[in-house]
Amino acid sequence: MISGFVFRALDGRIVVAVAILLGVALLVPALNLMTPPDSALHIPTYAVSLFGKYLCYALLALALDLVWGYCGILSLGHGAFFALGGYAMGMYLMRQIGSRGVYGNPILPDFMVFLNWKELPWFWHGFDWFVFAMAMVLVVPGLLAFVFGWFAFRSRVNGVYLSIITQAMTYALMLAFFRNDMGFGGNNGLTDFKDILGFPVQADGTRAVLFAMSAIMLALCLLVASAIVRSKFGKVLVGVRDAESRVRFLGFRVENIKLFTFVVSAMMAGIAGALFVPQVGIINPGEFAPANSIEVVVWTAVGGRGTLIGPVIGAVLVNAGKSFFTGAFPEIWLYALGGLFIAVTLFLPKGIVGTVQQGWNSRKAMKAAAEAEKGRDEAVPVTQAQAAE
Amino acid sequence: MNMIAETRQKSLLYLENVSVSFDGFKALNSLSFVVEPGELRAIIGPNGAGKTTMMDIITGKTRPDTGTVLFEDAIDLTKKDEADIAQLGIGRKFQKPTVFESHTVWDNLELALNRDRGVFATLFYTLSTEDEARIEEILSTIRLTHRKDELAANLSHGQKQWLEIGMLLAQEPKLLLVDEPVAGMTDAETAETAELLKEIAKTRSVVVVEHDMGFIRELGVKVTCLAEGSVLAEGSIDFVSNDPKVIENYLGR
């Protein structure tokens, strides 16, 4: 039963993607650490962190694809789950600073000393323990998605209304996290991290490992997502996307189906955020900005929604484009992004992967038709035999 | 009183004095209606007579303002939602054929199959030989065996209607509600659909809403005529179509 679930995930394209990711997880750190800086093969540390960041975005786009591409829930607030995962990791990293902060308080992070707080707020307890913090990376986004989804899906909020309230959710969280008295560092967020599990965050080795972890987690989540969408549950998901009332009248609890998918997706987004924070060295309320969540939708659409691989490719390509444009022509980046979205909507409505897939399928169909045409005379007895059957 | 109690006990579906109004418009006006086990029943009536509203109430999509809706004389359908009612064994075909277009014909039937529909049960579901045989059987009943691996989107209109009926069969319902199954079908397809429904009604109750009088004649079953939210006449097709009230309200129009 379980083995069937696992084996189903191993569809051809997913195997290739996972193999590439695992190869990258080994190769990039190796080229960074083991080649001399002047070698042609050397990958500088800043590039390792940059690519690591792309992989986190790719995981976030994959999470969105699960709910949008397969279940038809256009979430415009997935950045919130990403940011919450990031804050959970950030809180762990803050507690690791210990007395090395500017104010040298062994327990309180700097911003709390600055605010004249005497005690650690209750929700900061436990975050000095890595295992607990990592559990929170999953639990906090998962719980928010559960509560939000419980109410939204049960009251059958659908389509554009749902998109708007997801957007409102991330906006509300952004405003809340901006407040100093929330206890998450307010405007500045959490930064100045020193070490993770005892290894210095800035060191080349740590960065290489974080990069490898990002690639491995992305591969793992790809496998999980693939197993989900290829199961009977995945077919029900697509049914919900295409004909929700039909699914309901077949006796499925649509709200449970949506809720499960939304929670799994939120947890994946949380993992992405947690891997993102140590690589960029900061988490602040800006991550909750509605525009961030909308950008994720653009990556997913560019890559091709409902394909799993597409959003990964889309996220990496668009962000690589962003890095290039903001470096070379900073003033036209936003125009390029907007133009890209319009171009994709007009000319590639199925995204890159979706279009390639479609072209491939129609070529196959044309070939099959040509074969049938060529072999029509021989084909007649076969159809008769089939008819006799 | 005794007779009413008896009808109720024997019934599969029992509606009594059901009323519902939308913004002051009375869609159903103390409608009473009984379906017995194994019965094939046709419902006719002009637009706005309340045919679809009645189906909405039976399947839990709409709650009645007043009235009793019982399934198998024991289960109060007004307290259940769509998924519950579907699991109890009431299947519904929509007016517009509604199948999963991006799935194959086979997958459409697999999804409809009467198995545990929970999240984890479907995640870890594997197709058993028994289920496979059942799907093959339905495919041949709905005459779609040769197209089982094609996407439902590529089916003709009539074939989609059949596929939807097949999905309802896969649900193993005790009662099947079919809304305008032959709308947009060719004459040959209509005749075949009549055969199909008669075959299905051998093992379960079927309620068919239809405008096509020729089709209803072909079915040759008891007919209920609705108008303005209540029952106008009930009986054989000849009896109902000669009723002056029916002629005035529906046939004459």
pLDDT tens profile A267-323: 999 999 999 999 999 999 999 999 999 999 999 999 999 999 999 999 999 999 999
Pick from A2, A243, A246: CB nearest B124? A2
Number of domain units in chain A: 1
DSSP summary character for residue B153: G
* B252 touches A at CB < 8 Å: no
Within 8 A by CB and 6+ apart from A79, the residues are A60, A170, A287, A288, A289, A290, A292, A293, A296
Torsion of CA A44, A48, A54, A56, to 10 degrees: -160
Domain ranges of chain B: 2-97+156-251
Report the run of H or E that residue A59 belongs to, with start and end.
helix A45-65
Residues in chain B with CB shorter than 8 Å from the CB of A4 are: 124, 126
Q: Which residue of A has its CA nearest to B95?
A: A246
What does the pLDDT look like over A16-44, one tens digit per residue? Answer: 999 999 999 999 999 999 989 888 889 99
Q: Does A346 reside within a domain?
A: no
From the number of C-beta atoms within 10 Å of its C-beta (0-12, 13-18, 19+), residue A6 rates as exposed
Pick from A154, A250, A364 the residue to mutate for testing the B interface (most B CBs within 10 Å). A250
Asked if the model's pLDDT at residue A389 lies above 60, the reply is no
- Give the integer Cα–Cα distance in Å for B106 and B152: 9
Give the pairing type, strands B75-76 and B90-93. Answer: unpaired
> Quick check: A236 and B111 CB within 8 A?
yes
CATH of domain B2-97+156-251: 3.40.50.300
- In which domain, by residue range, is A241 found? 2-331
| Minimal CA separation from B111 to chain A, in Å | 7
B100–A contact, CB cutoff 8 A: yes
CB contacts of A232 in chain B (<8 Å) are: 110-111, 122-123, 125
Lowest mean pLDDT among A6-15, A184-193, A239-248: A6-15
Q: Do B82 and A249 touch (CB under 8 A)?
A: yes
Percent of chain B with pLDDT over 70: 98
Among all residues of chain B, which has the CA nearest to that of A257?
A: B119
**pLDDT tens track for B52-73:** 899 999 999 999 999 999 999 8
B81 to chain A nearest CA, in Å?
Answer: 9
Q: Is it the case that residue B183 has pLDDT exceeding 60?
A: yes
Examine residue A227 and state whether it is found in any structural domain, yes or no.
yes
Tokens linked to A338: 């907007």
Q: What is the pTM of this model?
A: 0.92
The whole-angstrom distance between B150's CA and the closest CA on chain A is: 12
Closest CA to B18 of B59, B61, B63: B63
Spacing of C-alpha A176 from chain mean position: 23
Q: Which residues pair with B223 in a beta bridge?
A: B42, B235
Contact assignment for A238 to B167 by CB distance below 8 Å: no
Nearest to B122 among A4, A233, A249 (CB): A233
For residue B41, give every residue at least 6 positions away whose Cβ sits within 8 Å of its Cβ, in sequence order, or none: B35, B205, B206, B207, B208, B221, B222, B223, B224
Q: Judge: B111–A2 Cβ closer than 8 Å, yes or no.
A: no
Using DSSP's 3-state secondary structure scheme, residue B202 falls into coil
Q: Locate the chain A residue with the closest alpha carbon to B100.
A: A239
In a domain, A373, yes or no: no
- Asked, for residue A344, whether it belongs to a domain, the answer is no
Query: What is the rounded CA–CA span in Å between residue B213 and residue B234?
Result: 15
Distances (CA, A) of B151 to B99, B148, B189: 10, 8, 21
Substitution target in A249, A257, A364 with the highest count of B β-carbons within 10 Å is A249
Q: Which of A139, A162, A140, A137 is nearest to A151 (CA)?
A: A162
Task: Say if B119 is an interface residue toward chain A (CB within 8 Å).
Answer: yes
B171 to chain A, any CB pair closer than 8 A? The answer is: yes
Expressed in percent and rounded to 5, the helix, strand and coil fractions of chain B are: 45, 25, 35
Query: What is the ipTM score, two decimals?
Result: 0.90
A31, with CB counted inside 10 A (0-12, 13-18, 19+), is middle
- Spatial CA neighbour of B77 closest among B26, B33, B119: B33
Q: Which two tokens stand for residue B48?
A: 């706005």
Q: Do B167 and A249 touch (CB under 8 A)?
A: no
Confidence of residue A378 (pLDDT cuts 50, 70, 90): very low
